[in-house]
Amino acid sequence: MKEPSCHNWHVHAVSMPDFMPLKKLGELQGKRLRSVVESAYANVACFRKRMDARKVKPQDIKGIADISLLPFSEKNDLRTTYPFGLFASPMKDVVRLHASSGTTGKPIVVGYTARDMEVWKNVIMRTLAAAGMHRGDILQNAFGYGLFTGGLGLHYGAEALGATVIPISGGNTERQIMLLCDLKVTAICCTPTYFIHLMEHAEKMGVDLKKLPLRVGVFGAEPWTEGMRLFIEKGAGIKAFDIYGLTEIIGPGVAAECERHCGLHVFEDCFYPEIIDPVSGKNLPDGKEGELVLSTLQKEATPMLRYRTHDMTTILPEPCKCGRTLRRIMRIDHRSDDMFIIRGVNVYPSQIEAALLKVEQTFPHYLVILTKANGLDQVEVQVEVTREVFSDRISEMENLRGKISLSIEHVVGLRMNVRLVEPQTIERSQGKAKRVVDRRTMNPGDKL
Amino acid sequence: MKLHQISVFLENQPGRLTKPCDALANAGINILTLSLADTQNFGILRIIVEDWEKAFKVLEKSGAVVKITEVVAVKVPDRSGGFAGILHVLERSGINIDYMYAFTTNRGGNSILILRFDKADEAIEILRQSGIGIVDKISMFAR
């Protein structure tokens, strides 16, 4: 048979599972869940003990609807069984290890069999195809290569799609911009914060990203907002796509936006999503916001059953206009553990970002600093001053500070002290952006 | 004739003033006059230099937030009542001064005042009509 010359043929072929009829999808999910539960029960002591405690046997799982019978798992399970306690495959079948840095103590380690690598490659191909990428695209992969799943995960999927991959990894911003220009790059992937950093740097170097062939940005590995998307799309003249994934499940490739940008399609033939109430652990119906729980339906080396992600989102059950039958989750812009509580009020960094966007109409760099004075929570929001908002008049700058403070109060319901800081003084992350610094130390005498 | 003033945003913290001044020094740009307005939180450095376009580029490259504002430089007789006379002229015409700063030169017995108006053109017209000298060339600052 002749090799088809049309780009779209390639895209369409890899994306076929995205369009599976729902009945067939449900049957496939049930079949795959049964087999992953059997393997987890037979090979992983932690899962077996927990199922036994709930008096659930693998044979009780008849279809995908029975998933809620299963116990949850969480990050701590990976820590307490470090390094290989959750592995269901013998090491001779494991071809790759990845690890995610823990902010405290040991990292968590996950493994992949050769078949897991195939699954991963396929979901990345589907991710990139949904973003409109195809054979012939030149992808600058600025996700970190190494133990982090972002770099290598995107790498193999992009190659399999037929794209040319530039494995530049993260950092060295000036070289990134030089190669973006010189190698006629058409697509880039990295964290959204890092891309904004690239945009700022390009401007300083006198490079107009809008004039480059770059047309697609695939961004993930941290929560970001619709405001950031608009800022990126306008400033760089590209289409920006949100992707979602986590090391514990596979890495990038769990869910991805299509050209409609109305939520992220979960590749639910491979990863089954549920939404639960983060406090009670009860399942919530589609359309309600709660914590995302994911089960791997195909993972051999490190299967995960009902893994609590701490990411807050909503499942959108309505069919997407793109025709994919995969359900969508809303863009994840906050995590249940991102939340901080100030004087009894729950606050998410995304709320502060939204408040700032209302005032500045440009993407603000900000940092929330929590301290305690006389037993009371104190909040300071540091906001970098941009050229757009800077004035030579003190009164206008004070006015700006007041407007920001008021806007935050409107959105959050709390008055916060706003400090204007010089540009580039808030650290730019190459990985996940840090938005909150909590310096409220608990002294032994303090009461909760 | 208006002059181009460069304003730089600064945090009100020790050492913050050094960075922009170093950037200008390294580029061989001489500061003719400056003023520093500060609040508890932040400050605004305002500078007059000869080559403002170069200074703007140098400061932006150093990472500062910079803004160009048009200001008016007037000659004030270096004697008692010299400044009051100018204020009377402005007061009568209802023109508001946003801020101002001064420096003295010993050329021809005049001081020079830098004034920031929201209606600069109107102010210049009124000052001219009242016979108040406007510094219209940056070179006149040279001592």
Q: List, for residues B15-66, the tens digit of each pLDDT value.
A: 889 999 999 999 999 998 899 998 888 999 999 998 999 999 999 999 899 9
* Residue from the list B11, B16, B44 with its beta carbon closest to the beta carbon of A394: B44
Q: How far apart are CA B131 and CA B89, in angstroms?
A: 10
Which has the higher per-residue pLDDT, A84 or B109?
Answer: A84
Range of the domain at A393: 340-438
Lowest average pLDDT, out of A43-57, A90-104, A128-142, goes to: A90-104
Q: Please tell me which of A4-13, A309-318, A349-358 the model is most confident about, judged by mean pLDDT.
A: A309-318
Quick one: average pLDDT of B116-142?
Answer: 82
Question: Do A157 and A207 fall into the same domain?
Answer: yes
Note the pLDDT of residue B138.
Answer: 66
Taking an 8 Å cut-off on Cβ atoms, the answer to whether B37 and A394 are in contact is yes
- Which of A286, A308, A337 corresponds to the end of one domain? A337
Question: B-chain residues within 8 Å CB-CB of A385?
Answer: 9, 42, 65
Q: List, for residues A149-159, the tens digit of each pLDDT value.
A: 999 999 999 99
CATH number at residue A395: 3.30.300.30
- Which of A312, A337, A362 corresponds to the end of one domain? A337
Contact between residue A307 and residue A77 where contact means Cβ atoms under 8 Å apart: no
How far are the Cα atoms of A201, B20, B29 from residue B24, in angstroms, in the given order? 21, 6, 5
Q: Counting beta carbons within 10 angstroms of the beta carbon of residue A441, is it exposed (0 to 12), middle (13 to 18) or buried (19 or more)?
A: exposed
Average pLDDT, rounded, for chain B: 87
Note the pLDDT of residue B59.
Answer: 95
Does residue A443 fall inside a structural domain? no
Question: Do A318 and A350 fall into the same domain?
Answer: no
Question: Do A129 and A186 fall into the same domain?
Answer: yes
Percent of chain B predicted with pLDDT > 70: 91
Question: Do A292 and A317 fall into the same domain?
Answer: yes
Note the pLDDT of residue A90.
Answer: 97
Q: List, for residues A347-405, the tens digit of each pLDDT value.
A: 888 888 888 888 876 667 899 998 888 777 888 999 999 888 899 999 999 999 999 99
Q: How far apart are CA A277 and CA A289, in angstroms?
A: 8
* pLDDT tier for residue A2 given thresholds of 50, 70 and 90: very low
Question: Do A351 and A206 fall into the same domain?
Answer: no
Quick one: average pLDDT of A205-212?
Answer: 95
Contact between residue A335 and residue A128 where contact means Cβ atoms under 8 Å apart: no
Quick one: average pLDDT of A86-99?
Answer: 97
Quick one: average pLDDT of A296-307?
Answer: 97
Structure tokens given for B58:
């140098």
- Which of A311, A337, A363 corresponds to the end of one domain? A337
Residue of chain B nearest A387, judged by CA positions: B65
Q: In what order do the strands lie in the sheet with B110-117?
A: B31-38, B42-49, B3-11, B66-77, B110-117, B97-104
Structure tokens given for A201:
């740097």
Note the pLDDT of residue A277.
Answer: 92
Q: Assign residue A2 a region (left: φ > 0; alpha: ψ between -120 and 50; beta: otherwise).
A: beta
Note the pLDDT of residue A101.
Answer: 65
Which has the higher per-residue pLDDT, A201 or A297?
Answer: A297
Question: Do A144 and A225 fall into the same domain?
Answer: yes
* Residue from the list B41, B44, B60 with its beta carbon closest to the beta carbon of A392: B44
Note the pLDDT of residue A1.
Answer: 40
Does residue A186 fall inside a structural domain? yes
Does residue A243 fall inside a structural domain? yes
Question: B-chain residues within 8 Å CB-CB of A420?
Answer: 9, 11, 41-42
Question: Do A316 and A353 fall into the same domain?
Answer: no
Does residue A54 fall inside a structural domain? yes
What ipTM, to 2 d.p.?
0.86
Q: How many domains does chain A have?
A: 2
Question: Do A332 and A364 fall into the same domain?
Answer: no
Does residue A447 fall inside a structural domain? no
Q: Is the pLDDT of residue A287 over 90?
A: yes
* pLDDT tier for residue A448 given thresholds of 50, 70 and 90: very low
Question: Do A349 and A261 fall into the same domain?
Answer: no
Note the pLDDT of residue A447.
Answer: 39
Q: Is the pLDDT of residue B105 over 80?
A: no
Does residue A446 fall inside a structural domain? no
Question: Do A275 and A206 fall into the same domain?
Answer: yes
Residue of chain B nearest A401, judged by CA positions: B41
* pLDDT tier for residue A3 given thresholds of 50, 70 and 90: very low
Quick one: average pLDDT of A124-148?
Answer: 95
Note the pLDDT of residue A226.
Answer: 87
* Residue from the list B11, B44, B61 with its beta carbon closest to the beta carbon of A421: B11
Note the pLDDT of residue A316.
Answer: 95
The DSSP secondary structure of A114-148, one letter per residue, reads: HHHHHHHHHHHHHHHHHTT--TT-EEEE-SPPSSS
Question: A-chain residues within 8 Å CB-CB of B9?
Answer: 385, 390, 397, 420, 422-423
Does residue A445 fall inside a structural domain? no
Distance from CA of B22 to the nearest CA of A (A): 16
CB neighbours (10 Å) of residue B95?
18
Q: Is the pLDDT of residue A7 over 50?
A: no
Q: List, for residues A234-257, the tens digit of each pLDDT value.
A: 999 999 999 999 999 999 999 999
Does A101 contact chain B (CB < 8 Å)? no
Prior bond of A192 cis (ω within 30°) = no
Contact between residue A77 and residue A34 where contact means Cβ atoms under 8 Å apart: no
**Among B65, B25, B81, CA closest to B49:** B25
Question: B-chain residues within 8 Å CB-CB of A381?
Answer: none
Question: Do A102 and A245 fall into the same domain?
Answer: yes
Average pLDDT, rounded, for chain A: 89
Contact between residue A418 and residue A385 where contact means Cβ atoms under 8 Å apart: no
Question: Do A376 and A325 fall into the same domain?
Answer: no
CATH number at residue A150: 3.40.50.12780
**Among A156, A231, A225, CA closest to A198:** A231
Contact between residue A387 and residue B65 where contact means Cβ atoms under 8 Å apart: yes
Question: A-chain residues within 8 Å CB-CB of B100?
Answer: none
Q: How far apart are CA B71 and CA B127, in angstroms?
A: 14
Residue of chain B nearest A200, judged by CA positions: B63
* pLDDT tier for residue A76 given thresholds of 50, 70 and 90: confident
Taking an 8 Å cut-off on Cβ atoms, the answer to whether B11 and A422 are in contact is yes
Q: Is the pLDDT of residue A181 over 90?
A: yes
Element (H, E) at A397: helix A394-412
Domains of chain B: 3-69 (3.30.2130.10), 71-136 (3.30.70.260)
Does residue A400 fall inside a structural domain? yes
Note the pLDDT of residue B80.
Answer: 86
